[in-house]
Structures are given as C-alpha cells and as structure tokens.
C-alpha cells in the first residue's frame, strides 16, 4: 500500500511536468521523513552510492565522443563516404540515412546526438531531392534509435550497472539487434524507392571511391578501438570510453576541423547531458532502495506468477508495460525504475538478464518517438525547422518496422545472446 502510494505520487508529479529526478526524489524523502527507523544520512548514502560507480564513468566519456564527432566533422566524412558508395543505387539517400546512423552509433551511444547531428544534414538533402518531408523525418527519427542499441550504448551502461551484469557483454548483446533494425529499415527504404522511381537521386561529389573510403577509415577505427579493446582485454568499457575520446579528439585536431569555441561547446553540452542523467541515476538509487525495502520486486513477481507461468505471456506483458513507460519517461529513468522490479521476475521465468536488457532498452527508446516525452521528435523539429506535429506524423509509419524488430528481439533470444555466448567460450 505504501509502495503504491509512492508510485502514484511520482506519476502525479511527472504528469504535472515536474522534472523526472525531482519526481522520484520527493516521494522518497517523504517516505524517509515518515519512517521512524530511517535517518536522512541513510537516504543520502543510498543516493550518493548509486552514482559512485566506476562503469558509470563511461557515460560522460561516450557522450563526449558523440558530441566531438559532430563538432569535429567526423560524421560528415562518414556521410560523404556512404554517399559515394551508394550513389548509383535507387533510393540512395534513404540508405545513406540508415547507414549513417549505424556508423555514427558506434561513437555516440545516444539517439538524440544522432538525430541532432545527422538530421540537420540528411533531412534537408532528402527534401531537396524530392523525398516527402514526413518520410525523411520519420526515417531519420527511426534510424536514430540504432544508437541506444548498438554499443557504446548509454542505456546499456545504465542497465548493466542496475542489473549487475557485465557492460562488455551487454554491449555485444546489442550488436545483432541493431543490425536487425538496420536491415528492416533498409527494406522499408527499398520499398519506398520502388514506389517512387522517378525521384531525383542525390549526386555525390566526384570523389573516387577509394579516396572517400581512405578519408573515413580513421573515423571507422573508433569502434575497433572500443570493442576491440574490450574484447582483447586491453581495457575495461570505461577505459575504452576514455580511449575513444582521445582518438576522436586527436582526429579532429589533425583534420583541423575543431575550433576552440566548438570544443568549449562540446564540454558544455557534455556537462549538461551528464548532469541530467546522473541526477536521475542518483534519485533512482534512493527510489530503488525504497522499492526494495518495501519488497516491491517480490510483490510484482508473485502477482505475475499468479497471472501466468508462461514466459511468452510474461514477455508480452513487460513489452506493453515498458512501451507505456517509455511514453512518459526517458529511457534512462525508465530503466532505473523498472529494472529492480522486473529483473527478479524475469529470472524466475528463466529469462537471461542480457536478453531482458536489450528488450527493455528497445522498448523504452521507442518512447523517444512518441509524445509526450518524444525527445527525438523535438530535436528533429529544432534542427530542421519542421513543426513537431509534422515530425510526429512522419514517424508513425516507421513504428511498424520498429515494432517488428521489437517482436523479433523479444521472441528470438539468440539475437541478443549469440555474440556474448560465443565470446564467453
């Protein structure tokens, strides 16, 4: 009863537009004040302890890698290479859009960075070549969701810390699901190209293919440094994040594409984004402790087991719950609130924590394309000048490939577990 009241208060605050961290923190502080056997010092310890984590140091570093890649013009090199490779293929700008997001995801780990960096270039270019504005916006928004799934994924780090699983294993668990999403989006691009054969296609600059590839190879070494270093045991995911920052910064300096003013802007954006994420992590640490103290996970597990003992039905249930949660909460906040509750129940059903992590992340990032939170919608509106309503209408058809991907990842665990299993041998 107490736990239900706390959740209701939090939801009321969220719907009242109170910031997520404050919405979680206020009911917990009221709980602490009401409980005679809990001191404020204990609450403070739980709050601070949740961010006192070595793996979480990777979060600001990967965020900085994404911002540096944009500011340093590295994303533009990838764009030019892809445009050169796809220049003779019908629907080339659509394919460039999807593959640009795939490649940029190896550096950003966040959908918002992808939408901001690539949306400002790709959407105007597609509109200029006769693509429907809503299609261009929807494809850009949908492809940006590859970033939070493909390593280095910020939500994956948060889930790994919350669930107590290996960050490196969860990184590799996201590779095949991200490729599945990429493939399904490419099918939709191909269908659109067949329906619009007379559309004027983008013409790449007259750059030899070999030269375009050579120009982008140093940028493409970033994922090799990240995943190769982790796989080779050279460094931890956190150290890999630091190495990625140094590599991207070095490239930007060598290319002379990063001014001091732009670098200062990168530092400010990184600090702002990191601060908002870690404030949510800190508040969620106290919220999760209160949930555990009131035996919330046990109550949820018992309720689900009374409702069904079928793992498939359980997965369908959590998909519905998480899709709704993603509509009102950012992915990081949604993970921090739901992992302590759903993970024990999933273990009871024999679901691997790595599989559950990818399913939860994909469910929650879908909320980035749905109101009222829909951060990607607002970012695309800001960088393209299109009304939010137009962006929203453009993304609706692309919920179909996203939901197809979600069902495949949910009910075919091999997509999530194959690579971590091979690497563990």
The structure's pTM equals 0.84
Reported as a single tens digit per residue, the pLDDT across 92-112 is: 888 988 998 898 888 777 788
- The full length of the chain comes to 425
Q: What is the residue whose two structure tokens read 């994956």?
A: 156
Q: How high is the pLDDT of residue 199? A: 62
Q: How high is the pLDDT of residue 382? A: 84
Q: How high is the pLDDT of residue 425? A: 65
What are the residue ranges in the chain where pLDDT is below 70?
1, 198-207, 297, 425
Nearest-angstrom CA–CA distance, 370 and 100: 23
Reported as a single tens digit per residue, the pLDDT across 222-246 is: 888 888 888 778 888 888 889 989 9
Nearest-angstrom CA–CA distance, 51 and 53: 5
Q: What angle do CA 387, 189, 86 make, to 5 degrees?
A: 110
DSSP 3-state assignment of 253? helix
Q: How high is the pLDDT of residue 203? A: 56
Nearest-angstrom CA–CA distance, 142 and 135: 10
Query: What kind and span of H or E run contains 288?
Result: helix 260-293
Q: How high is the pLDDT of residue 137? A: 92
Q: Cβ atoms within 10 A of the Cβ of 23, count?
A: 23
Nearest-angstrom CA–CA distance, 111 and 226: 19
DSSP string, 228-244: IHHHTTSS-HHHHHHHH
């Amino acid at each position: 009863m107490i736990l239900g009241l706390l959740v209701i208060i939090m939801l009321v605050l969220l719907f009242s537009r109170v910031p997520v961290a404050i919405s979680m923190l206020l009911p917990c502080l009221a709980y602490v004040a009401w409980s005679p056997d809990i001191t404020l010092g204990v609450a403070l310890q739980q709050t601070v302890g949740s961010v006192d984590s070595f793996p979480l140091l990777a979060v600001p570093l990967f965020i900085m890698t994404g911002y540096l890649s944009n500011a340093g013009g590295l994303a533009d090199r990838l764009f030019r290479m892809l445009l050169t490779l796809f220049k003779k293929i019908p629907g080339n700008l659509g394919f460039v859009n999807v593959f640009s997001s795939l490649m940029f995801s190896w550096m950003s780990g966040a959908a918002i960075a992808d939408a901001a960096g690539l949306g400002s270039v790709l959407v105007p270019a597609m509109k200029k070549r006769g693509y429907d504005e809503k299609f261009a916006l929807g494809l850009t928004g949908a492809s940006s969701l590859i970033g939070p799934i493909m390593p280095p994924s910020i939500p994956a780090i948060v889930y790994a810390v919350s669930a107590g699983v290996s960050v490196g294993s969860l990184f590799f668990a996201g590779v095949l699901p991200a490729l599945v999403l990429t493939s399904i989006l490419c099918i939709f691009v191909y269908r659109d190209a067949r329906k619009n054969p007379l559309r004027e296609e983008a013409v790449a600059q007259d750059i030899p293919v070999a030269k375009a590839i050579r120009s982008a190879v140093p940028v493409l070494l970033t994922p090799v440094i990240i995943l190769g270093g982790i796989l080779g045991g050279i460094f931890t995911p956190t150290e890999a994040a630091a190495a990625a920052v140094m590599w991207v910064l070095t490239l930007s300096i060598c290319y002379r594409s990063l001014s001091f003013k732009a670098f200062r802007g990168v530092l400010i954006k990184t600090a702002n984004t990191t601060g908002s994420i870690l404030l949510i992590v800190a508040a969620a640490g106290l919220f999760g402790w209160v949930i555990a103290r009131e035996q919330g996970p046990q109550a949820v597990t018992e309720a689900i087991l009374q409702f069904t003992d079928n793992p498939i039905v359980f997965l369908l249930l959590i998909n519905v719950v998480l899709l709704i949660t993603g509509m009102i909460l950012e992915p990081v906040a949604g993970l921090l609130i739901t992992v302590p509750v759903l993970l024990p129940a999933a273990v009871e059903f024999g679901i691997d924590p790595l599989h559950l992590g990818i399913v939860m992340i994909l469910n929650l990032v879908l909320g980035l394309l749905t109101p009222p939170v829909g951060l990607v919608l607002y970012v695309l509106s800001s960088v393209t000048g299109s009304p939010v309503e137009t962006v929203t209408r453009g993304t609706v058809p692309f919920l179909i490939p996203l939901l197809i991907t979600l069902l495949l990842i949910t009910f075919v665990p091999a997509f999530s577990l194959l690579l971590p299993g091979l690497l563990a041998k």
